[in-house]
Structure 1
Amino acid sequence: MKIKKYLVKDIKEALIQIKQELGENAVILQTRRIRKGGFLGIFGGEIFTEVTAVAEENTSSVDSKKKDFDNQEDTIYNLREILSRNIRKNLNNVKNYEKGNFNGVKPENHDEIDNRNVSNGNPIASTNIIKDIEEIKRMFVQLNAKIEMFNGDLSEFPAELKKLFNRMVDQSISKDLSLKMLYELKDEESFEINRLSDLISRYFEKLIKVEVPDIGNGISMFLGPTGVGKTTTLAKLAANLKLKQKKKVAILTIDTYRIAAVSQLKTYSEIMNIPFFVAYTPQEARNIISTIENFDSILIDTAGRSQRDEIHLDELKKYVEVVKSDYRFLLLNIAINTKDLIDTIERFSLCEPTHLIFTKLDETNNFGNILNVGDNFNLPIAFITTGQDVPDDIEIADSKRLSELITKEVFKNV
């Protein structure tokens, strides 16, 4: 692991140096502004940006990495120190922002606005309260249903439905939802395979919420954990908007943590002849958008964030609040386990996603998570992706097609 600091006039200069010296997979750990020169380093002098970056050193094999482990202890210790300082700094940044101070930008106090709206009977605020109440009601209804389900016993069901239950669970469909379906089917006169398959498919279809927004007109942000495919998905949609729908498209990235991400998206943009912009702060993103408002569609790529990284999720939330996008797509890897998937949606909810995009459907035969999400959240699916090819491997979500896909796997080899 290699850590290096750069003293530059601006962050763009640092990115060029980091890419040249550490490679495209380098990651920025910390940035801070310092003054050089002048009297005692206080009066006069110039303002510079200090950027700390890290990159994995090339090794020939996993074994060689293990052999070098002892020699890297000092480096790892230094990295932990830097990360610790960075976390403390980011916490202070969040606190400063909440006080109305973020990178020199003093935003409106949203809490005061919300309180003022409620007190004045603002319909938007009232609508938000109603939505919250409805969501709480829905959660209680689901909780009661689940309690009843756990009191159930498979012994009351015929053998055909017991087998169906096991096949649904094997497809990663939750036990609660699988049991709920059995109760729906228990009074049927026949459990013949073709009939069961048809009934299940129709039941699945009702659970799958789909909605495809008009991304050809408006601002769209792409959110999600690391490695879920945000950049590639954005490129696919940009290509379709530009080449097939003949829309005037611009791409903006705020993913400045990974050097490779900027380069990858810039390459896509150049190939498609689409204007490309990079923003380093929320206000800079807002300023760039104000200069390209005449474009039909503005697509915004964001940095991948672990759902458990609260500091960076708060940072992402600041971008969401300042950018004010029309659509916010939360991308989810269909292949991860249900618990982590639900945890991801819940933690990213602070960014108020409007739609879901399921990715990597080509990497699994288990599609039950589509139903689990539909059973737990009121978020529609907009698109699914089925590979890495740009612009081809993306489809508009269709509830009938998805239900048939899941049903096919449930009844496979039966």
Structure 2
Amino acid sequence: MKVKKYMAPSMAEAMKRIREELGSDAIILSSKAVYIGGFLGLFKKRNIEIIAAIDPVSQPNQMVTKQKTKKLPVKQEISSNSTVTQEGNNESADLLKELEGLKDMIKTIQIASERHYPGKLQKIKDYLTEQEVDVQLRSQIMDELLGKWFALKQQSTDEEVQGWLEEALFEVLEKAQNGKPGLQKKYINIVGPTGVGKTTTLAKVAAETMLRHGKKVAFITTDTYRIAAIDQLMTYAKILNVPIEVAYNLEDLKKATERFSHYDFVFIDTAGRNFRNPQYVKDLSEIIDFTDEMETYLVLSLTSKQKDMEDIYRQFASIPIKQIIFTKADETSTFGAIFNFIHAHKLGAAYITNGQNVPDDIEKATSSQLLKTAFGAKKYERSS
């Protein structure tokens, strides 16, 4: 094995150096806070001291000592049980003492090299892997948890370790604004590919705006590629008793916006394929200013693959996306995409849906609600 001591101003910096020098399979043997410098015992700087190790199996050459040891006097024998009696052997005695102290650590390394993390943390890593959390984000979270694990001398319970994970994921979510849909502009544009529940989601948001906030709303659909989509939105309009216009072209859309000029909000259901055409976006922007008059929400299904979500996001990159709406939370048991997407793009979620019922089955996607969705029925008393 190769064991090395690191000193850094923060755990993150220490982990970075360890990964660069020893690789991602390195194991943390111990960590503690140390204070150095200062004047007359004051103003000392806090640093993190970490002892890390790497399994030599994959890197046998690293076992070779880079520094030559001092030549010992003739007939001196060094072993774990020997007693050093000759002059000039203090350094050797210290070395033997350190090696003796590392005996238990070696056992830890052997176990950890097979499982990569101590038992309780391995369960967390397995969970994140099963949830399809991105490798980079997963490593970042595990580094943070590993630091806490050794800082507390490996005495933490399963519940405490679970709490660390929830705190780490909560911090990821809090880097974006979640659960606070603006609805500050007149036109609410709902975009997304076919099959993600876009039309149903539009109806849910409109119903909440009308029933809970007393606003006057209307519908416009430009998704004329699918007759079923028009019929579906017309049904919702009838149930909610709100007007609807079908815009087959830009001229129809212009007339519809004029008709609904005195309404508080106009919800627009669009065909996802339109936004592949730059000319369509250009023409539409001549009628409605995407920046000053419209808020656009991108609908992503949690049943989609991560790569598909990224492709969809790029497809709609020609218009400003305010927030994401995650749908079909009830149709999957894998929620890593929520954390991956928010972490990668720093783009918050406005709503999350978990069924077909209108106006129910929709929640504001606060960070606490997203955590609750990912961890099941567990309650979170966080404000976000």
Tell me the TM-score range normalised by the shorter chain.
0.5 to 0.7
Gap regions ≥5 residues in structure 1: 1-143
The question of 1:205 aligning with 2:165 is answered no
Cα deviation, residue 363, structure 1? 0.3
Q: Please list the CA deviations of residues 160-213 of structure 1 after superposition, one character each: whole Å capped at 9, or x if unmatched.
A: 323321210101111211111011111211442111111111111121230423
In structure 1, what is the equivalent of residue 228 of structure 2? 260
The whole-number CA distance in structure 2 between the counterparts of 1:351 and 1:168 is 33
Distance 1:286-1:310 versus aligned 2 partners, 3 A rule:
closer
Distance 1:388 1:158, change over 3 A: same
Unaligned runs of 5+ in 2: 1-15, 29-116, 379-384
2:121/2:161 contact within 8 Å kept: no
Report if the CA contact (8 A) 2:124-2:165 is conserved: no
5 Å-filtered alignment, 1:168-179, equals 168-179=128-139
Task: Specify the alignment match of 1:152 in structure 2.
Answer: 24
Are the aligned partners of 1:313 and 1:348 in contact in 2 as well (CA < 8 Å)?
A: no
Q: In the alignment, what sits opposite 1:323?
A: 288
Length-normalised TM-score, structure 2: 0.62
Structure 1 stretch displaced more, 267-276 or 226-235: 267-276
- 1:239 is matched with which residue? 207
User: Residue 15 of structure 1 aligns with which residue?
Assistant: none
2:6 corresponds in structure 1 to none
Partner letter of residue 369 of structure 2?
A: R
Residues 200 and 407 of structure 1 are in contact (CA less than 8 Å); yes or no, is this contact kept in structure 2? no
Distance in 1 (alpha carbons) for counterparts of 2:207 and 2:284: 25
Matched, 1:395 2:267: no
- For residues 132 and 252 of structure 2, what CA distance do their matches in structure 1 show? 43
Which of residues 123, 147, 152 in structure 2 aligns to 1:187?
147
1:131-168 Cα distance to aligned partner (Å, 9 max, x none): xxxxxxxxxxxxx99x9699422655433323321210
Deviation at 1:405, TM superposition (A): 3.3
Q: 1:289 to 1:238 in 2, by over 3 A?
A: same
2:147 counterpart SS class:
coil
Deviation digits for residues 271-314 of structure 1, max 9, x if unmatched?
A: 22101011122343234213322111110001133xxx874475
- Distance change >3 Å, CA 264–CA 313, structure 1 → 2: farther
Give the number of aligned pairs. Answer: 263
| Residue number in structure 2 paired with 1:74 | none
1:347–1:252 Cα change, 3 Å: same
**Taking structure 1 as reference, are residues 331 and 164 closer, same or farther at Cα in structure 2, changes over 3 Å only?**
same
Question: In the alignment, what sits opposite 1:107?
Answer: none
Question: Which structure's CA Rg is the greater one?
Answer: 2
- SS for the counterpart of 2:190 is strand
Given candidates 256, 271, 286, the residue that maps to 1:303 is 271
1:290 matched to 2:261? The reply is no
Cα deviation for residue 343 of structure 1 reads 2.1
Change (3 A) 1:320 1:171: farther
Give the whole-Å Cα distance in 2 for the aligned partners of 1:294 and 1:222. 21
Q: Structure 1 residue 381: deviation in Å?
A: 0.4
Quote the residue 2:374 is aligned against.
Answer: 406
Q: Describe the SS at the equivalent of 1:350.
A: coil
State the distance in 1 between where 2:217 and 2:284 align: 20
Q: Deviations over 1:237-288 (max 9, x none)?
A: 2222223322111100011111111111112112221010111223432342
**Cα root mean square deviation, aligned:** 2.8
User: What is the aligned partner in structure 2 of residue 280 from structure 1?
Assistant: 248
CA distance in 2, matches of 1:337, 1:257: 25
Measure, in 2, the Cα distance between the counterparts of 1:320 and 1:171. Answer: 39
Q: What is the CA–CA distance in structure 2 between the aligned matches of 1:281 and 1:232, rounded to whole Å? A: 23
| Alpha-carbon distance in 2 for matches of 1:172, 1:358 | 16
- Supply the distance in 1 between the matched residues of 2:216 and 2:321 (Cα, whole angstroms): 24
2:318 is paired with a residue whose SS is helix
Normalized per residue, the structure richer in helix is: 1
